[in-house]
Amino acid sequence: MNRTLPVTKNDYIDVVFEDLTHDGAGVAKVDGYPLFVPNGLPGEKAKVKVIKVNKSYGIGRLIELYEKSPYRVEIEQQDLHKYGGCQLEHISYEGQLKYKENQVRQVLTRIGKLEDVVIHPILGMDSPWRYRNKAQVPVGEKDGKLIAGFFKPRSHEIVDTNESLIQIKEVNEAVNAVKEICSQHSIPAYQEETHKGVLRHIMARYGKQTGELMVVLITRTAELPHKNKLVDEIVARLPHVKSIVHNVNSKRTNVILGEKTTVLWGNEVIYDYIGNVKFAISALSFYQVNPDQTRVLYEKALEYADLNEKETVIDAYCGIGTISLFLAQKARKVFGVEVVSEAIEDAKRNAKLNGINNAEFAAGEAEVVIPKWYKEGNAADVMVVDPPRKGCDEALLQTIIEMRPKKVVYVSCNPATLARDLRILEDGGYKTVEVQPVDMFPQTTHVECVSKIALKEEAGAQ
């Protein structure tokens, strides 16, 4: 028998919000039927309009607030809130941290069935603004001038934005300068529909500890009109710039960077530090966008690894070696593996840059390379995993269970897949000892965690 839904499209109803979804929408229930409403906060009473219904949930639009949450704040930048991914900008930072910590607790209990894990209070930032060291913005045209900013959700319409309050000041300045200089020289923007035009994206990267700036011009064409004039004017206008790079992406694709990269001026890389480890960052390098909180995250990973300079560590999903090089300072030997071969070359370069000789890196899939190392006698005392949002490959989890390292440190950017993977490890003989949430991306719904995991016999001895 079909259940009659308690609401219909275009209804106006009064609700009380009970919770937030994983993407920051308010959750209200009408006779048990969940209604998800962007910008609603728990405890608030409001009038909403129902704009979509299906069997299991509906979506509403906030019309009027009768009672406001004490955590509600005025939105600093409406475009950023609506289009720039800052879904939590209407919540005070105290409220954001409470929401993220609660999300981690709920997910570990609901998905991971982890009832007795110590979950520490989330580690937030002193100032939750101007933390991003990188911007890559799409370019378009309006009224004969170049625009650059955010895509509106579910569209490719660009919202022109001169400042993002989550970007470091020097990054905003670089994007604006390049946009204006290219516009003055009539560089045509890329047109997605016709696959014509030149300038697709502007990228800026900034080393917060070194003050070094990189500008990347991403074009459809191999030829960049007025190249020398653009370079001269960018150098004159941006005193921090150390590298100007041209990247060519001639394909019809949503992928931002192409395969061909040429240095137009200055160095191929800029440098930055996380803690006392120095990193070379190219146009194509993966590098954490919030270096201050990355240090917090990695220092916690190092603490949980609890190394004694006699242990061997395997770092799966090692990227450019950021965690590996932190661990190498306290380990006997670190083996890092990463599927992206360019990242492995960066990792080797960064090890050399820091004079670290006890880190070895290999390109390949972790679930293939690590069993090979194991057969060669390179068993891990400590395994570190820092997977993408989809979590660890099941084959890697089974390898960990078979290899039985004494400790596993799991760095996660997705609490749901973390909870799923912790459950698998628990069923395979491990115990989740403690979890530390870290707020890497204030104003957004994202939350990172570092988890300390030990073999059950080892955990019992702690």
State the Cα angle at 425 between 393 and 447, rounded to 5°: 70
CB-CB contact of 156 with 140 (8 Å): no
Q: Whole-angstrom Cα distance, residue 99 to residue 162?
A: 30
Count the Cβ atoms, other than its own, within 10 Å of residue 252.
8
449 is catalytic: no
Angle between the N-to-C axes of helices 366-375 and 394-403, in degrees from 0 to 180, rounded to the nearest 10: 20
What are 265's strand-pairing partners?
A: 244
Q: Is 243 helix (H, G, I), strand (E, B) or coil?
A: strand
Q: Whole-angstrom Cα distance, residue 323 to residue 325?
A: 5
Q: Whole-angstrom Cα distance, residue 145 to residue 186?
A: 8
CB-CB contact of 449 with 438 (8 Å): yes
Enter the DSSP assignment of 440: S
Query: 409: Cβ–Cβ under 8 A, 6 or more apart, which residues?
Result: 301, 304, 305, 382, 383, 384, 385, 450, 451, 452, 453
Count the Cβ atoms, other than its own, within 10 Å of residue 120.
15
DSSP 298-309: HHHHHHHHT--S
Query: b/e per residue, 150-168, with b = 16+ CB within 10 A?
Result: bbeeeeeebbbbeebbbbb
CB-CB contact of 376 with 360 (8 Å): no
Q: Whole-angstrom Cα distance, residue 269 to residue 248?
A: 17
Annotated catalytic residue: which of 86, 182, 392, 413? 413
Place of tokens 């084959």: 395
Count the Cβ atoms, other than its own, within 10 Å of residue 24.
21
Q: Whole-angstrom Cα distance, residue 455 to residue 148?
A: 51
CB-CB contact of 149 with 159 (8 Å): yes
Amino acid at 172: N
- Catalytic residue numbers read 413
